[in-house]
Structure formats: structure tokens, C-alpha cells
Amino acid sequence: MIDRLSLNQKTTELWPLPETLEGCAAAGLRWVGLWREHVAPFGVERVAEMVRAAGLRVSTLCRGGFFPADTDAGWKANVEENHRVLEEAAALGTDTVVLVCGGIAGGDLERSRDQVAAGIEAIVPRARELGVRLAIEPLHPMYCADRSVIVTLRQALEIAERFPAGVVGVTIDTFHLWWDPEIWDLLGRAGPRIFSYQVCDWLDPLPDVLMGRGMMGDGVIDFRRFTDAVIAAGYDGPIEVEIFNHDVWNTPGEEVLATMIDRYLRLVSPG
Amino acid sequence: MIDRLSLNQKTTELWPLPETLEGCAAAGLRWVGLWREHVAPFGVERVAEMVRAAGLRVSTLCRGGFFPADTDAGWKANVEENHRVLEEAAALGTDTVVLVCGGIAGGDLERSRDQVAAGIEAIVPRARELGVRLAIEPLHPMYCADRSVIVTLRQALEIAERFPAGVVGVTIDTFHLWWDPEIWDLLGRAGPRIFSYQVCDWLDPLPDVLMGRGMMGDGVIDFRRFTDAVIAAGYDGPIEVEIFNHDVWNTPGEEVLATMIDRYLRLVSPG
């Protein structure tokens, strides 16, 4: 059963969007996760039509976030950019925006963390109006300086829990969270705030800070345990495969999809 | 005042040990942190004499640990190796062994974590006999698979606190712990269990998983806050500079020492 499986298009970064959608449909997928920079050249309305025509739905739009800024004006501009992300998500027919919250600005980690929380607070009203949910993605701590000052599920939940459970929640990405000794306790607490579940493996040794992610089964992550815990917490949405890896990117899209489906069915699928 | 500053010799990896000791003495240092593989070619007794002759003391011996193993026999062999580390530390006249606890063995993260705790328990009696303290070093989570399944200060403390405070404690390394939102609360809890304080900076973006560490001041870490918190927690021991970086390694040792002293005085020193 691949009815919950979604290709996050970052896994096939070099595959043009029209071919990606056709390929997903031909492989029997029902979901696709899109990135703004791949949507922009076609326009949101056009992509929404292409997705519908392919019989697919958009699992998530990646990505909002990147709130921290050196100045207040910069932070406000980031909030405005996030309003555009929400509008694009609504137009694409997805109910979930993944938030990669942004790294350190102005050399001040604590202030940057405060700017993230304030940024989320600032966009919650528009998210509610549009019916779009905000899925804070804690990234692996190795991205704390440059991509996300939110690096543990505990941190993400502490922000999310300030808002209604239907509006602000979290993305659970196995690559970012597998190491955390608290993860198994916290998934239960996350419960209905799990808005997105993304999978890819951790290669050992890690070949690269950004591009070293692996296909499920090629690394050390226990996907069975993750899926069981996420399902037990109540999550019933799509499961996205998102892999940053030049070898995967240089493999033909149809081949990546076939491997992804095989690995998903053997290692990740809820059954 | 550089009376607490120590050169961890990993910072000058390519500098032969005799020159390293002479260089430290000439620069006015009182401490040096040694690695087993650099001590072995000379023999422990000989190195102990060389250190004394240079008017130095050994701040720590790196490194014990690496407990996890696929088999029980493998684990027992690792415990035996750690007994040798303790004997070497005692012979070198240092009271502190840094434990890098080891990565995942047998594909089982939880079992590997249990093997670490059991390994430490197994070597505590010999450590007490020899008067050597075990300083568990939580490594950055990006090393969880291959180097240390202990990746947060909380985890390290939860193991250390099972044993007397004078025997098992922790190493606080800024590079490994700066991202952790709990760090400021936990340093107080660590208190007298802080057996070692190591500094180096986190470069942004991180150029390499293992070799991307930076000289203090070249990255994002707030050393003033770290030193203040470590001192407030009661730590009064040496402060080691430990940097894995090919550019630093390829710089003449005297030059590295001069830069290190300058940065230490401006950014790290307790005053």
C-alpha cells in the first residue's frame, strides 16, 4: 500500500516539475511534496491545475520560516514573505506549510530563537484565515547556525503549544530527530500536532553536512520504530520521502521512484 | 593570565610531541592535553618525564570510551582497553580521562547506549583505585552514529549521576554543546561533575563533518557566556583548546599557539 507515500520533490531535485508529476502518477502515488522555487517558474495556479490533472494532491509546501534577521525591518520582511508562502499553499490546495525556521542572525542565538517564535505568532492569524497549518520542522543541530535555531522536538513543541492544536504543529523528519534520546517520549506528547512525517536515512559515516542524506535502508535509522510511534501518536497523513543527495539527484526520476517505493514498503510503511 | 590555558595536542596534530612540549613551555603554558596515539611511540614513562622536564602538567588524556561492540566479547575487550587508558593516565600524572563513548554497534542505538553505561560501570572500580576521574564527553549529535551515542549533557549527566561525584563526571566542549537549548540550565546541575572544559568554535556554514572546527572567534559560539557558566558551576580546572581543522594543523605550531593565546585572552579566559 502506497496510498500514504509522497515524493518530496527535493528527492528528485533535477527532475522538471511536469515530468515529476507524470512520474508520480504513473508510479501510482497519490501525493507529492512541492518546493516554492520549483513552483514559481510555472506559477501557483498553473501548478495547481497540473497537480489536479495528474490525479495528485500536494502533501506539503516547502518551505516557510527563515524568520531571524539582523534588523526589525528584516524580520518584518521575513514575516511578509511567509504570508506569501501561506497564500501559495492555499492556492496549491495543501493544508500544510513546512517551516524551516532560520539560523542565527546578528550573532545572537537567543534573540534569533525569540524572532522565530514571534514570527510564527505573527503569521498565525493569516494561516487560520486560509486554513493552512504551520508545521515547525526541528532540524538536526548541525544546522543550528545557518538553517534552524529550532533543533529539538521539545523546542518545536514548546512553541507550537502556545497556539491552537489545529494551527501550529511539527514536522517529524527522521534524519533530523533520530539521535534525540527524548524523541520516543515526545512523539506521544506531539500527538495531534504532528502535521507532517518525512523520512530519509542517516548514512554512517555522514559524507557531507548538507548533501549526505540517504535512501531508507542505506543508513542507521530504525524506520519501523519511527513509523509505529508516529502512527501511535495519531498521525494519519501522508509520509514524504525527502533526500538531499547528489547521487540520488543524478539518478533518473523513475528509478528513484521505484527504489523509494520498494524501500518504503519494506521499511517504512505503516502496513 | 594563561595559567589555566591548555593546548590539547589535537589542535597541533602534525607537531611532534617533543616540539609540542617545548613550544608550550616557551609560550608560558602550564598545561597540555595529550592523545594516546601520540604518547604511545615514546612510551608513557618517557612522556611523563618529558612533560615534567618541560615544567608542564597533563590536563587530560584523550581518550577512553568506545564501549559499544557487536558481541559481548567485543564489549569486554573494549573495557580492558579502557583499563589500559586509566593506567596510562595515572602514569602520566593526569587525574582526568576524557571518554568518547563510541557510536552505534550492531545497528542498535539503545543497546549501544546501554553498553556505554555498563562499560563505565565496569571501569569505575579501577578508576577509583588509580585516582583517575572519568569525564564523559557528550559529542555533537552529528557524531551519534560513528563516535558517541551520548550526544547531550543531560544524557551524560544521567549516567554520571549513578556514581560518586568525584569519580564520574563530564567534559564540556563548546563545539559539541553550544546548540542545546538546555545547556544553560544543565551546567549548574553538572556543578562539581565538570571535570574538563574544552573550547573551539563552530564555523558557519560548517565546512566539514569532522574537520570543520574553528579557532575561537572564527565562528558563532558565545565563549564568554560558556566560561561564565562553567566557572559559576564551580569549575576551577584547566581550559583546553581542541581544534580539528586541516588549516590549523598545517600552520606552524608556534603560530597556532600565539593565535590561540590571543583569542583565549580576548574571548575565553575567566579573567
Say if residues A51 and A76 touch (Cβ distance below 8 Å).
Answer: no
* pLDDT mean over A235-255: 98
Give the minimum alpha-carbon distance from A186 to chain B in angstroms, rounded to a whole number. 15
Q: By C-alpha distance, which of A37, A39, A22, A28 is closest to A6?
A: A28
SS3 content of chain A, % helix, strand, coil (to 5): 45, 20, 35
- List CB contacts (< 8 A) between A145 and chain B: 202, 204-206, 219-220
Give the minimum alpha-carbon distance from A158 to chain B in angstroms, rounded to a whole number. 12
pTM attached to this predicted model: 0.97
- Inter-chain contact B204–A103, Cβ cutoff 8 Å? yes
In tens, the pLDDT along B207-263 reads 999 999 999 999 999 999 999 999 999 999 999 999 999 999 999 999 999 999 999
Q: What would you report as the CA-atom Rg of chain A, rounded to the nearest whole angstrom?
A: 17
Homologous superfamily in CATH for domain A66-238:
Divalent-metal-dependent TIM barrel enzymes (3.20.20.150)
The fold of B5-244+253-268 is: TIM Barrel (3.20.20)
**Cis before B205? omega within 30:** yes
**DSSP letter, residue A192:** G
Say if residues A239 and A263 touch (Cβ distance below 8 Å).
Answer: no
Give, rounded to a whole angstrom, the gap between the first and last alpha carbons of chain B.
7
- Inter-chain contact B204–A145, Cβ cutoff 8 Å? yes
> Which residue is associated with the grid cell 560518586?
B164
Say if residues B201 and B219 touch (Cβ distance below 8 Å).
Answer: yes
Q: Are strands A194-199 and A168-173 parallel, antiparallel or unpaired?
A: parallel
Q: By C-alpha distance, which of B197, B107, B124 is closest to B159?
A: B124
- Inter-chain contact A142–B141, Cβ cutoff 8 Å? yes
The CA distance from B52 to B30, in Å, is 10
In tens, the pLDDT along B17-47 reads 999 999 999 999 999 999 999 999 999 999 9
Give the chain B residue whose CA is nearest to the CA of A107: B220
The share of chain B scoring above pLDDT 70, in percent, equals 100
* pLDDT mean over B158-176: 98
ipTM score over 0.85, yes or no: yes
* pLDDT mean over A72-91: 98
Say if residues A262 and A28 touch (Cβ distance below 8 Å).
Answer: no
* B161: confidence class by pLDDT, cuts 50, 70, 90: very high
Provide the CA B68 distance to its chain's centre, in angstroms.
19
CA angle B73-B75-B80, nearest 5°?
95
Give the minimum alpha-carbon distance from B224 to chain A in angstroms, rounded to a whole number. 13
- Inter-chain contact A220–B179, Cβ cutoff 8 Å? no
The share of chain A scoring above pLDDT 70, in percent, equals 100
Q: How high is the pLDDT of residue B115?
A: 98
In chain B, which ranges are continuous DSSP H helix?
17-26, 36-39, 44-53, 72-92, 109-130, 153-160, 174-177, 183-190, 223-232, 246-249, 253-263
Q: How many CB atoms lie within 10 A of CB B180?
A: 22
Q: How high is the pLDDT of residue A271?
A: 73
**Cis before A138? omega within 30:** no
- The domain segmentation of chain A, as residue ranges, is 66-238
**Residue-wise burial string across A191-229, b where 16 or more C-beta atoms lie within 10 A, e elsewhere:** eebbbbbbbbbbbbebeebeebbbbbebbbbebebbbeb
> Which residue is associated with the grid cell 518525512?
A198
User: What backbone phi and psi angles, to 5 degrees, belong to B228?
Assistant: -60, -45
Helix (H, G, I), strand (E, B) or coil at A222: coil
In tens, the pLDDT along B79-137 reads 999 999 999 999 999 999 999 999 999 999 999 999 999 999 999 999 999 999 999 99
In tens, the pLDDT along A170-199 reads 999 999 999 999 999 999 999 999 999 999
- Bridge partners (DSSP) listed for residue B18: none
- Inter-chain contact B146–A103, Cβ cutoff 8 Å? no
Say if residues B57 and B49 touch (Cβ distance below 8 Å).
Answer: no
* A52: confidence class by pLDDT, cuts 50, 70, 90: very high
- Inter-chain contact B104–A220, Cβ cutoff 8 Å? yes
Nearest 10 degrees: Cα torsion A148, A154, A159, A160 = 110
Helix A183-190 with A153-160: angle, nearest 10 deg: 20
- The set of residues, in sequence order, having a beta carbon less than 8 Å from that of B105 and lying 6+ positions away, is B68, B69, B70, B74, B111, B112, B115
Give the minimum alpha-carbon distance from A157 to chain B in angstroms, rounded to a whole number. 13
**Residue-wise burial string across A125-154, b where 16 or more C-beta atoms lie within 10 A, e elsewhere:** ebbbebebbbbbbbbbbbbbbbbbbbbbbb
